[in-house]
Amino acid sequence: MSPARDHITRLLFMWSGLLVWAAHFTFIYGLAALSCARHLASAEMIAGFNVLQLGIMAATILALVVTAGFMAVAWMRGAAAVRSDDGGWADTGPFFRYTTVVIGALSLVAIAWNALPALLSPLCR
Amino acid sequence: MSAADDTAIVDAAARGRPEDLPNPVPRPDGELERLEAAWAPPKGWRLISAVNNNFIGMYYIGTALLFFLLAGILALIMRTQLATPESTLVGHELYNQLFTMHGTIMMFLFAVPVVEAFAVILLPNLQAARDLPFPRLSAYAFWAYAAGGLAFFCSLFFQVAPKGGWFMYPPLTSYEYSPGINADFWLLGIGFIEISAIAGAVEIIVGVLRTRAPGQSLDRLPVYSWAMLVFALMIVFAFPAIILATLLLELERAFHWPFFVAAKGGDPLLWQHLFWFFGHPEVYVIFLPAAGMVSMIIPAMAQVPLQGYRLVVIALIGTGFLSFGLWVHHMFATGLPTISLGFFSAASMGVAIPSGIQVFSWIATIGVGKLQWKTPTYFVLGFLFIFIIGGLTGVMVAMVPFDWQVHDTYFVVAHFHYVLIGGMVFPLFAALYYWMPTMSRNPLSERVGKWVFWLMFTGVNVSFFTMHITGLMGMPRRVYTYLEEMGWGPLNMVSTIGAYMIAAGVLLFVIDLFRTYRFTFDDDAGDLWKAGTLEWLPAGTYQTRSVPIVTSREPLWDQPNLAEDVEAGRYYLPGTVTGGRETVVTSAVDARPQYILQMPGPSWPPVFAALFTAAFFLGLTVKLVGPAMACGVLAVACVIWWLWDTDPGPTHPPMDIGGGLRLPVYATGPVSHSWWAMVVLIMVGGALFTCLVFSYLFLWLVNPQSWPPAGVSLPALGWPVAAGALYLASSAAIVIGSRLLAHDRIWPVVLLLVLSVVLIVAGIGTAVHGETQSGLRPEAHSYGAIVYTVHAVQGFYVGTLVIMALYTIARALTGRLDRRRRATFDNTMLFWHYATVQGLIGLALVAGFPRLV
């Protein structure tokens, strides 16, 4: 990978939690819009939940797991591995490690919090 | 140069050991004079052609402040009208124009431009770059905005100003209820000014990421630069939505393509989605730069580093993302499904977390340090007070049931003025007082400044706190008068008195500005606050004499003798190595020096290009299609004239900038700044196209059982398949051309470019021919309208590619293209592949999706 693309990849990895949040938000909003417009959310399927609620639950669990995965990778990669390629100029390893993990934590809260209305509120009224 | 040398030099910079810094002193005779000559500004009326960030930044800030005053005067007229019940000062017709123009100008012509303007001035200073990477793009963005904005404002004097409110909801603003050209002024004027904002955003993203002081890695980046990076990325993703929205509404108004007409399968809510997908991030687009300014001002005024730097950076990024999940909270009263409202209500509360992180960080910094009680401090504290109240009422209106009660009342007016004045205007005034000593010979007056603050602070609270109550008493917004029996008279009078207090404060500020401000780039008032960041280094038009190595977030506090060593020329690039303007381009993450970018001096083409672009849009607005088209052609010609001397090739061998560091003077491919700008432009295109796909799917969703509508048949599958194959073939020809260019086989490259143009034009022609063959008409139903729009957007890209290809061919034929000098070709290729991918997705959408469902 070229150095320039490597820089972009590092920035995207830093933001990984929020990128997952964005994908999750887009999916659950789209699913809700589709289900309500096409009346797909009326019939219960499993354990009293309808297709919309089940879809949101599955997407949420997946999003939380993926985000936690990014956090774990960032944490385990640690500072040392990244430090070597910064030479004498800078040492951005610890910064990226910390920001990736905390952004991930913020995203976990945001993902779970965003999905909560699926369980708590009426759906398509 | 070895890594060991790097370490020694970086260490010398950190400890301030002058003998180990990159360049010895005394510097050779004439070095400083040559640097000054390279950066000498033009004289007299030729100052218009200046492109240097000092000049463009000042023009930009001055023009934005002018619009602030103009929109403020409109507000005063409205407040005077509302001071008493049944007032007859202005009628409903003018009042509608006044509130529309007040909101539109404040948001589009003041708030966004003024924060971009500050970035143009501040970013190179904060990052010790000699200028932003594309000075002429800044100049173009400024002149387009100034000319377009002033023409837009003048529509008021001819009673043709838009009057549909700053969010211009159809059906009120479509052809049926808004005939005449008032709405067109908004759609074409604002759509065009957004293009200028995007140009600024491209400049800022590449500037923040690629033109920094060596060693100023992302963990040492000033918070303001972080804020501007997030700000510019938000513009890249949010503003295309409003550009698409204005395009669709203009198509509906001009050609009756029914995107928003319910009777023909359209839906007015589509406009609201697109508008607020831009409009809500817009609030944070305005707030984040202001928050970035506050994060610079508080540490300097408290004389301690910002507490929780990393958390503040995370908060900026978090806000940038989460703010895209809020747009429907402007649409709580439109009857969307409860679950959708729930998502957006939750996200609206969630975004308070990163905002709260920043507020607590500022309070902690104030608590740890000892504040200097100067005017910037007053405005920052005023900001905290007003913004927090605005934030709290924001959480209130994020609750759906509460929002239903106060929707479209003065409570909402109070809320968003607290957010915008608190969150943006007060930090801006703090910034003007704080940074004026870097831009002017004299600072602004402290004594007058405190009067300005107390008048504005009291005025804002008197005027807008009252409106919460007026709103709860039921007064709707956007009414030009009210009956005395409603009982709103006394509260309105109080609000009006508050508005005049704000005006008095602003007037005092303007008088003081005229009294004390004297433009300078080398004799400024200096570091009055004993701040720690690089913008307080001694500077000239070329910014700093030499380019420092940065080893800390507050280099002036932590690196001994930094200012003296920079000014003596001990650091990198103490003169000009190519004889012209130049700056050091650094890597994005760790700010390692990569190459020397040769920069342009004063230049007319961007000014002319901007004026002709403005004339093109203005001409279309007033239906002078012929002259408008001529201006459009001239604008493109001026852009080509401007571009012609870019991509200079490796005109010099690698040059020594000090300490044995030899840098190339030219770069192509992913390391080059122009590659990054092209990637950002492609992100803009991707965002616009995503909004278009969303619009298509939205219209499909609201048209059950009629997609395509009855009586319309899909084109035979052969047409879209052939079109897709042609798109792919054109990209393949470009790839082969790229391989041949690596071997300097220029003529085959030219022939392949011609072939690519033929293929891609044939591709779009085939796609559209397939639709016309099936008898699809765009004005009959929203289905046809959106299908043709997908093709039309692709057609626009194809047209752009034709111009780019012809330009590349012209460079090849004049000896300006070869295996080493190939940035132009690479950029054309990148954009070509993007257009091919977009075209394929578009074909799959319009030809494949209806067959699937």
Nearest to B142 by CA among B66, B208, B193, B206: B193
A33 contacts B314? CB cut-off 8 A: no
Closest CA to B128 of B497, B462, B535: B535
Both tokens of B782, joined, read 């929203």
Cβ-based burial of B704 (10 A; exposed 0-12, middle 13-18, buried ≥19): exposed
Query: What backbone phi and psi angles, to 5 degrees, belong to B440?
Result: -135, 155
pLDDT band at A83 (very low <50, low <70, confident <90, very high): very low
CA distance B734 to B754: 10
d(CA B255, CA B13): 64
Residues of A in contact with B214 (CB under 8 A): 89
Which has the closest alpha carbon to B698: B411, B394, B156, B331? B331
Query: Quick one: average pLDDT of B712-718?
Result: 92
Determine the Cα–Cα distance for residues B146 and B139; give it in Å rounded to an integer. 11
State residue B5's pLDDT score.
Answer: 60
pLDDT at A84: 45
Of residues B281 and B1, which shows the higher confidence score?
Answer: B281
Residue A92 confidence (pLDDT): 85
pLDDT (tens digit per residue) in B676-706: 999 999 999 999 999 999 999 999 999 988 8
| pLDDT tens column, A48-66 | 888 889 999 999 999 999 9
Tens-digit pLDDT profile for residues B340-395 = 888 888 888 888 899 999 999 999 999 999 999 999 999 999 999 999 999 899 88
Question: Computed over its alpha carbons, how large is the radius of gyration of chain A?
Answer: 19
Cross-strand bridge partners of residue B476: B409
pTM of the model: 0.96
Q: How confident is the model at residue B674 (pLDDT cuts 50, 70, 90)?
A: very high
Contact call for B588 and A4, based on CB within 8 A? yes
Q: What is the chain B residue with the closest CA to A10?
A: B589
Q: Is A11 exposed, middle or buried (0-12, 13-18, 19+ CB in 10 A)?
A: middle
**Residue of B233, B339, B340 to mutate when probing chain A, most A C-beta within 10 A:** B339
Cβ contact, residue pair B339, A124, below 8 Å? yes
B337 close contact with A: CB closer than 8 A: yes
* Continuous H helices in A38-123: 51-83, 93-115, 117-120
Predicted pLDDT of residue B146: 95
Mean pLDDT of all residues in chain A? 86
Q: Which two tokens stand for residue B409?
A: 């009342």
Residue B28: other Cβ atoms inside 10 A: 10
What's the pLDDT score for residue A88? 61
Query: Residue B645 corresponds to which tokens in the numbers above?
Result: 């001397």
CB contacts of B219 in chain A (<8 Å) are: 90-92, 94-95
Structure tokens at B273: 């989605």
How confident is the model over B93-126, as pLDDT tens digits?
Answer: 999 999 999 999 999 999 999 999 999 999 999 9
The predicted pLDDT at position A56 comes to: 93
HEC profile of B252-267: HHHHCCCCCCHHHCCC
**Residue B545: partners with Cβ closer than 8 Å, 6 or more residues away:** B32, B35, B538, B566, B567, B568, B569, B574
When pLDDT is cut at 50, 70 and 90, the band that residue B2 belongs to is very low
B65-82: pLDDT as tens digits: 999 999 999 999 999 999
Burial zone of B88 (CB within 10 Å; 0-12 exposed, 13-18 middle, 19+ buried): exposed
Q: Looking at the partner chain, which of B9, B11, B590 has a beta carbon nearest the beta carbon of A86?
A: B590
Does residue B189 register a pLDDT over 90?
Answer: no
Cβ contact, residue pair A110, B670, below 8 Å: no
Residues contacting residue B673 through CB under 8 Å, at least 6 positions apart: B133, B134, B206, B210, B211, B585, B597, B667
Rounded to the nearest integer, the mean pLDDT of chain B is 94
Chain A residues lying within 8 Å of B6, measured CB to CB:
87-89
Q: Which residues of B touch A108 (CB under 8 A)?
A: none
For A58, residues 6+ apart whose C-beta sits below 8 A from its C-beta are none
Residues B470-493 have a mean pLDDT of 96
Q: Name which of B310, B343, B354 is nearest A117 (Cβ-Cβ).
A: B343
Q: Give the integer Cα–Cα distance in Å for B794 and B792.
A: 5
| CA–CA dist B727, B740 (Å, integer) | 20
Q: Do A95 and B219 touch (CB under 8 A)?
A: yes
The answer to whether the CB of B551 falls within 8 A of the CB of B215 is yes
pLDDT attached to residue B523: 83
The number of residues making up chain B comes to: 853
CB contact under 8 A, B325 and A114: yes
* pLDDT surpasses 70 at A86: no
Given this model, what pLDDT does residue A1 score?
44
| DSSP β-bridge partners for residue B595 | B585
List, for residues B497-549, the tens digit of each pLDDT value. 999 999 999 999 999 999 999 988 788 888 999 999 999 999 888 999 999 99
Q: ipTM of the assembly?
A: 0.94
pLDDT, tens digit (0-9, with 9 covering 90-100), for B295-320: 999 999 999 999 999 999 999 999 99
Task: Give B590 to chain A, closest Cα distance, Å.
Answer: 6
pLDDT at A5 over 80: no
User: B504 in contact with A at a CB cutoff of 8 Å?
Assistant: no
- How far is residue A82's CA from residue A92's CA, in Å, rounded to a whole number? 8
Instruction: Say if residue A78's pLDDT is above 80.
Output: no
